Amino acid sequence: MSVAASVMSYGRTLADLLYPPACLLCGVHLNSSIAPLCDVCEAAMPRIGLPRCERCGMELPGAYDAHVICTACQRHPPSFDQACAPFAYAEAAREAIHAFKYQGRHRLGSWLAASMAQAAQRALPLDQIKAVVPVPLHWVKRRLRRLDPPVFLAHAMARALERPYVPLLRRIRWTATQTTLNPSGRIRNVEGAFGARSSRRLSGGVLLVDDVMTSGATVNACAQALRDVGIQPVYVVTAARTPTNQKAGEGLRRP
């Protein structure tokens, strides 16, 4: 072990003695502070399995293989090329994201980002991704919050994937919160709400980062803004996405 590593390990042991580590979700005692969650909470995280829609990354239980596009993406092809997320936005994953976003639990954010990096490495063509771009909050919201979740996650993703962090997007108008709107209301609410600056130094695609993908309206509007200034392909990674009620095999087709 190097001197730096042994000092860090000693520091961690001392910190663990002074502040006994506990699971950030259920509070159970942990033997070390390296992982933020206990084994039970980690196992309870609802992971998105295979097969999934090739465009939006939605899990499609019962589909006949992994090369399918869901009905929603067939009806309204998204402006992004492909999206992925490690978790379904439910149960323990929803709790973890809330604790990160609204209680400022940075260690949960770092853990979510590590899971997002693994999902991106498995699902996305990383050689086409030249920069990591956060979905921007409106500046008023940014001032009101202690933490800007997409910026935090995008910085962590940029480090994990060894790509530059480039905030190319901004909100050009205020939008109501998406949570109270139905799917068509969500699309109208964010249509034209984002502007992108072009980057002459950027030759290739980008990875757009947000915390949760619900209907996909926000990341879609962001991807469109990036395309409008000639940036493509656009890939998306979020910590979680909302499961839909799409039934197995319903309206699926091979791409």
Footprint on this chain of Zn ion (rule: CB under 5 A): 23, 25-26, 38, 41, 53, 55-56, 70, 73
- In the complex, least distance from residue 231 CB atom to Zn ion, rounded to whole angstroms: 22
CB nearer to Zn ion: pick between 39 and 191? 39
Decide if 234 contacts 205 (C-beta within 8 A): yes
Decide if 145 contacts 104 (C-beta within 8 A): no
CB nearer to Zn ion: pick between 30 and 206? 30
In this structure, which amino acid lies at residue 29?
A: H
Q: Categorise residue 203: left if φ over 0, alpha if ψ from -120 to 50, beta otherwise.
A: beta
- In the complex, least distance from residue 63 CB atom to Zn ion, rounded to whole angstroms: 11
**Strand pairing category for 129-134 and 169-171:** unpaired
Task: Give, in order, the Cα–Cα distances in Å from 196 to each of 62, 126, 129, 140, 227.
Answer: 39, 22, 17, 19, 9
- In the complex, least distance from residue 170 CB atom to Zn ion, rounded to whole angstroms: 27
CB nearer to Zn ion: pick between 70 and 225? 70
CB nearer to Zn ion: pick between 109 and 136? 109
CB nearer to Zn ion: pick between 55 and 163? 55
- In the complex, least distance from residue 234 CB atom to Zn ion, rounded to whole angstroms: 15
CB nearer to Zn ion: pick between 172 and 248? 248
Decide if 117 contacts 71 (C-beta within 8 A): no
- In the complex, least distance from residue 165 CB atom to Zn ion, rounded to whole angstroms: 27
* DSSP structure class, residue 253: B
List, in sequence order, every beta strand (DSSP E) within the chain: 82-84, 87-88, 129-134, 169-171, 194-196, 205-213, 234-241
- In the complex, least distance from residue 20 CB atom to Zn ion, rounded to whole angstroms: 14
CA distance linking residue 195 with residue 2, whole number of Å: 47
* DSSP structure class, residue 180: G
Widest Cα–Cα separation across the chain: 59
Helix (H, G, I), strand (E, B) or coil at 98: helix
